Amino acid sequence: MRPASSDTWRIAGWPRVRNGSADESGHADYECVKICYNTQVFDQGPRSLSLLRQELGHVATGEQSGLLPRWLRPPIPLNHSKRIAILGATGSIGQSTLAVLRHASQATDSALAENGRFRLFGISGHENLADLAAAAREFQPDFVVCSNPESNSHWSESCPEFSGRFETGADALVALASHPHVDVVVAAIVGRAGLESTMAAIESGKLVALANKETLVVAGHLATDLATKTDARILPVDSEHSAIFQCLHSGCGREIRRVILTASGGPFRTWTAEQQRNVTPEQARAHPTWKMGAKISIDSATMMNKALELIEAKWLFGLEPEQLEVVVHPESIVHSMVEFVDGSILAQCSPPDMKLPIQAALDYPNRFDSPASRLDFSSSFGLNFEPPDMDRFPALLVGLEVASRGGSCGVVLNAANEVAVQAFLERRIRFSEIVPVCRKVLDSHPFEPYPDLKSILELDCWARLESCQCISSY
C-alpha cells in the first residue's frame, strides 16, 4: 500500500501541537497523527517528527502547527469505546446527540464499525423526566442525574426499571462531568447553569464537546487557562465554530486573517425597529432555519446569539477581536468562513442540522456517516450574504465591545441577557427592551480585568439583581 512517491502521503487529523522538542530521542511530538494515502488510513497514533520525516519525506503542514490553542488538538486515541456523558440530554442539543449515538450504534459500514465505539455513560436533565427516562430506557446509561433536586421523588415512577446510579442536584452534575469513567462530556445545558459542570469537565481533563457557549462568554479566560493546565480538549459544537474549526485545517494560526461568522438574521431580519417593538414570544421563538431551545431562539431573534458567539470564537480560537466579523446569510447553509492572509476564503456548508457539528466534535479528527441531512444540488438554490444592520440589531455592537474589553464584561452581559430574555418570555418586557437592559447593566458594572471564579459568581448575582431592577422600572 505504500505509494511510490512520498509526496502522495497525507497527514490527516491535524497534529497541530508539538509536544516538545525531543524528536531525535523518538518521543512523540504529535500526540495523534493519522497518516493517510488517498482515503486509506495507513497508521494512526503518537509519532515523532523525525520518524514522520523519515517515513514520509516531509511533514506537510504539520510543521506549521503549534499556533492554535492546545485545547483544539486531536485527543489521544482510546483503546476502548468512548464513554460519553450528555449534560442537558433532554434539550435540543442533547436530543440531537442521542440521535447521533443511535445512528452510530445502528450503522454497519466499516468506518462506523471502526468508530462505533461510543457508549452513553451518563445523562442529565433538569425538568423533563419523561424524556430523561426515555433516554435511560433506550441507552441504559450507568449514571442519570436530574439537576433539579425537586424532581427526586418522581424518578422511580418515571423509570422504575432503571437500576443504575441516580442522583439529583447541581453537585451530581459535577460528579457526572468529572466521573473517571467518562471520556467525552457533551456540555449542552443552557445558560450560566452549565458553568460549574463544564468547568468540572475541563478540570478533569475531559474532551468537552461544547454547546454551552455561555461558559466561554462568562469565564473564557478561566476555562482556557484551566484546559491548558489539565490538557482538556474543548471542541466546538456550535455550528459556526465547528465550521471555523473545520476550515482552520487548511492553514495555521499566523495565516488566519479573519473569521467570518454567518448569522441567519433570525425571524426579524427584514423588520424595522418599530415593527420589532410588538413582537410576541411565539413570533420570536419561530426561527426560520433552526429548531432550538427557547433561550437561544430568542437570542437569535435579537442577534444576541451572534454577539455571544463572537465572544465564544475569541476564546476558543485565541483570536484578536479585530479578526472577528459577522455576515448575514439567511439560508444557514454556509456555517462560517475563514479568510487566510492570501485572500483565500474557506467555508463549511451543509443544511442546518446540529447533528453534523455534534458528531464532528464527538469523533474528531475522524469523520463517519451522519444522520444529518445533505445538500441537494439536483434543484437550483441560491446563497445570499448581506452586512448586518447594527442599528436594527444593536446586540452585535454590544458583543463586539464585550469581545474587545473582556474581563468581567462577559459575565455581566450574559446574566443581564438571561434575565431579560426570561422577562420577555414571561411578557414582562418588550422584545425591543432586551438589548437596552443588557446595555444599561453592562455600562453600570464595576469592571474587573481578570475576575476569578468567585468574582464571576458574585458579578453574575449582581448583574441579575440590577437587571431585575431595571426591568421593574419599565
Using CB under 6 A, list all residues that contact ligand NAD: 88-94, 125-127, 147, 188-190, 193, 211-214, 238, 290, 292-294, 296, 354
Q: Which is nearer to ligand NAD, 42 or 290 (CB)?
A: 290
290 contacts which partner out of ligand NAD, Mg ion, none, CB within 5 to 8 A by kind?
ligand NAD
Strand partners, 271: none
Q: Which is nearer to ligand NAD, 147 or 302 (CB)?
A: 147
User: Closest-CB residue for Mg ion?
Assistant: 238
Give the H/E segment covering residue 174. helix 170-177
Contact of 214 with 154, CB cutoff 8 Å: no
Report the C-alpha dihedral over residues 421, 131, 373, 301, rounded to 10 degrees: -10
**How far is 184 from 43, CA to CA, in rounded Å?**
23
Q: Which is nearer to ligand NAD, 147 or 158 (CB)?
A: 147
Cβ of residue 37: shortest distance to ligand NAD, in angstroms? 36
213 contacts which partner out of Mg ion, ligand NAD, none, CB within 5 to 8 A by kind?
ligand NAD
88 contacts which partner out of Mg ion, ligand NAD, none, CB within 5 to 8 A by kind?
ligand NAD
Neighbours of 357 (CB within 10 A): 28
Q: Which is nearer to Mg ion, 338 or 459 (CB)?
A: 338
13 contacts which partner out of ligand NAD, Mg ion, none, CB within 5 to 8 A by kind?
none
User: Closest-CB residue for ligand NAD?
Assistant: 91
Size of the site for Mg ion (CB under 5 A): 3
If we measure between CA atoms, which residue out of 462, 465, 459, 461 comes closest to residue 222?
Answer: 459
Cβ of residue 306: shortest distance to Mg ion, in angstroms? 8
90 contacts which partner out of Mg ion, ligand NAD, none, CB within 5 to 8 A by kind?
ligand NAD
Give the H/E segment covering residue 167. strand 165-168
**How far is 387 from 326, CA to CA, in rounded Å?**
8
Residue ranges of alpha helices (H) inside 393-433 are 395-405, 409-425
Cβ of residue 341: shortest distance to ligand NAD, in angstroms? 29
Neighbours of 104 (CB within 10 A): 21
**How far is 214 from 197, CA to CA, in rounded Å?**
12
Q: Which is nearer to Mg ion, 93 or 199 (CB)?
A: 93
Instruction: Report how many helices (DSSP H) and strands (DSSP E) the chain contains, helices first.
Output: 18, 14
Q: Which is nearer to Mg ion, 124 or 336 (CB)?
A: 336
Q: Which is nearer to ligand NAD, 188 or 337 (CB)?
A: 188
Per CB under 5 A, 238 contacts Mg ion: yes
Indicate the pairing of strand 233-236 with strand 256-263: unpaired
How does DSSP classify residue 78?
Answer: P
Cβ of residue 151: shortest distance to ligand NAD, in angstroms? 10
What does the binding site for Mg ion look like in residue numbers (CB under 5 A)? 238-240
